[in-house]
Every structure is written in structure tokens, then in C-alpha cells.
Amino acid sequence: MEGALSNEAKANPAFGTDLEPVLEAARQHGLEGHVIFQTSGTEGEPKWVALSRTALECSAAAVNERFSVSASDVWLRVLGDYHVGGYGIGVRTALAGATLREMLGGWSAADCLRSLEGVSLCSLVPTQLYDLVALRQGPPGSVRAVLVGGAPLSGELRGEAEQLGWPVFDAYGMTEAGSTVAIDGELLPIWEARIGGDTLRLKGPALFSGYLTFAGGGWRWRRPFDEGGWFESSDRAQLDGHRVTVLGRRGDVVQVLGENVDLGALQSLVEELTDADCAVAAVPDARAGKRLVLVHPIGVELGTADLLAEFNSRVAGYERILQGVEVPSIPRTALGKVRRGELAQMLEKRSEA
């Protein structure tokens, strides 16, 4: 990491984001010694999560303690450091004096398998584990822990991986928590947790400092904590002592290929492009976790190919839609908002038919 008081800004290079305005906004709001990660806003606006270097080191130390990471370990970094999970690997290895090995180039399961020779730990998203399992090979004998996070890990995929000898650990976390909150459902000791309604709330030394958002021509700094310092996440969960069971996301956010996707924001884009009755929805996908489809009533003429070509040119790769799906009608509220729960049930019944 850079100097203790300097700030860094991290965003997916594919977006071509100019980071200097973010750093200038951080300086104007008095931030020092922070790493600021771009993430999806729940209302579709760009949102930046500011994590102090102290918080990142606290998270890293807790993970290192959980896995007894030492100077003799080698950790393979597959995830980009613009993700907090990828960045955190660099902090963990630096704290432990361990070796950081980078996997360069685009994702390839075969390349990853080769890169794991001599590696003791690595972190993956479920899609990457799915691709490794598809090779029907186990890991090199040096690998003692594979942390899988970024999206829900299905029991089926975990079971298949473990049958091949992969030492899989389900890592639950979020950018706002500096990366990891729980391993195999067990909260790391640095975290206090409670449930408000059905939503997980967190408190601890690895929590972020606040959000930077740009709206209305200016930057806004927001600290979304109550008087006791608790942060309300976007995850629905259940608690049993120090064990947490995550039930899913609140609102319109789903995860595709380990990335947060705001269905509401994508719906707004579709409505800019066409007046036709249609809706963006997510359906289960064995590899990606979720796959996006464009739903429209039977008989509605969309010009689907042209519409999707324009839509896909304006979104990130993991947000692209490749398929249209016909349904009898799209369930909506009296105000015209898509009833996503009803639509999901409709699509599920359609897939079972």
C-alpha cells in the first residue's frame, strides 16, 4: 500500500473511469489514508466506498489469523485489486510477510490450475470455481485453502469441488466491511452483528468510513451509521450466536459473475430505449449464479435484436442481456413498478414447465 496518509481510488479499468475527481473529492472532504472503491449504488448512481488503511489491515489480520497465514505461504491473486477482495489479498500477504503471486491476463481455468502449483491459498468467485470443477481435476497438493466469495456459493458446487479435493471455504463479505465478514457462516471475531427487521447490521474496526457519491453536479460525503456506529447492510440474514446465514439481497440488486447488478438501473436504461412493455429480470444460472433476460408479454413487438444490441453497448460485460423471454403479462404495481417477486415466480414456473 502507499503512504499512510495518501488516498487511492480503485475502479474496474474496463470502465475507463477518471479517478482524479474522486481523489480530489476525498481531499475536499478531509479524507486521509483511505482506499476508495467504486461499487454499484442501490439507486443506480456511481457510489464509492471509502475504507481506511487501518480498516483494511484489521480485516486482513483477522483473515490471516483464521487461516494461520505465515511468511511461508503463497497466496494467488486472481481477482483484480479494484475489487476489495483482490486488494485485500495484497494487504494480507504484506502483513504476514507471505508471497503474493499474480495471475496475469484474462480468466482461464486451465491457466489458474497451472498457476496454483506451489500456492497455498487463493480466493475465487463461484463462477471461477465452477470452471475449475468443469476440468474434473483436483488442486495441486500445496493448496490448503480456497476462499470462495463475491456471490452465493451453492451447496451443489461446493460438494462437487470437495469431491475433487478442493479445500473450499465459503467467504461472505462486502466492500463496506473491508472484505470478509464470515467464513463458512462463522463471524470473524472482529465483527459484532445483529438483525434489524430481517437485515444484517454490522459494527467493527474494519468497517468503512463512508460513501462518496456524485449527483446534481457535486460530490456528497455520507456516513450511513446510527448513533451506536452500526451499519445496515443490503443483505437479508439470520443470526444464531456467532453464526450468520445470508438469505439474499434487499431490493433490486442481484449478483452476476460475482458482480453486483442493479436491476432497477438497468430497467431505467431499457425504458430510455423503448416504450414497449418489457422488464429486465434475473434467472438462475449454474455458472454465473444469475443470468439477465429481457421479459416481454407474448405478442409484443420489441425489435429485440436491435434493442439488445444498443442496450449491451451501454452496459458492463456482466450486465449484458443475450435473450428475450415471453410471458403472458408483466406484473406491475398501480404505479407501474415491476413486481419482481411475482415476475421471478412466473419465470421459475416457466422453466419448470
Same domain for 339 and 226: no
Same domain for 344 and 284: yes
Same domain for 109 and 13: yes
Same domain for 37 and 157: yes
Per-residue pLDDT of the chain (353 residues; tens, 9 = 90+): 555 679 999 998 877 889 999 999 999 999 999 999 998 544 445 689 999 999 999 999 999 999 999 999 999 999 999 999 999 999 999 999 999 999 988 899 999 999 999 999 999 999 999 999 999 999 999 999 999 998 888 888 999 999 999 999 999 999 999 999 999 999 999 999 999 888 999 999 999 999 999 888 899 999 999 999 999 998 889 999 999 999 877 767 888 988 888 887 888 788 888 878 899 999 999 898 899 999 999 887 777 788 999 999 999 999 999 889 999 999 886 556 788 888 988 898 877 66
Domain-embedded: residue 12: yes
Yes or no: say if 146 and 153 are a contact pair by the CB < 8 Å rule: no
Report field, pTM of the whole predicted structure over 0.85: no
Domain-embedded: residue 248: no
Reading the block at residue 12, the C-alpha cell is 474496474
Residue span of the structural domain in which 106 resides: 8-183+201-234
Residues 234-284 pLDDT 10s: 888 999 999 999 987 776 788 898 888 888 788 878 888 887 889 999 999
Domain-embedded: residue 79: yes
Q: Please give the span between the terminal C-alpha atoms of the chain, in angstroms, as a whole number.
A: 53
What DSSP element (H or E) covers 238?
strand 231-240
Same domain for 158 and 71: yes
Q: Which CATH number fits the domain that encloses residue 345?
A: 3.30.300.30
Same domain for 153 and 41: yes
User: Rounded to whole angstroms, how far apart are CA atoms 199 and 247?
Assistant: 9
Same domain for 161 and 269: no
Domain-embedded: residue 240: no
Which amino acid would we find at residue 49? V
Same domain for 224 and 345: no
Same domain for 342 and 300: yes
Domain-embedded: residue 347: yes
Same domain for 117 and 54: yes
Domain-embedded: residue 65: yes
CA nearest neighbour of 169 among 67, 82, 257:
67
Name the DSSP letter for residue 152: P
Task: Say how many CA atoms lie within 13 Å of 141 toward its Cβ.
Answer: 0
Same domain for 259 and 158: no
Q: How many domains does the chain have?
A: 2
The residues, ordered by sequence, that sit 6+ positions from 40 with a Cβ below 8 Å of its Cβ are 47, 253, 259, 260, 261, 262, 265
Pairing of strands 253-256, 243-249: unpaired
- Cα dihedral sign, 272-274-279-281: negative
Same domain for 221 and 98: yes
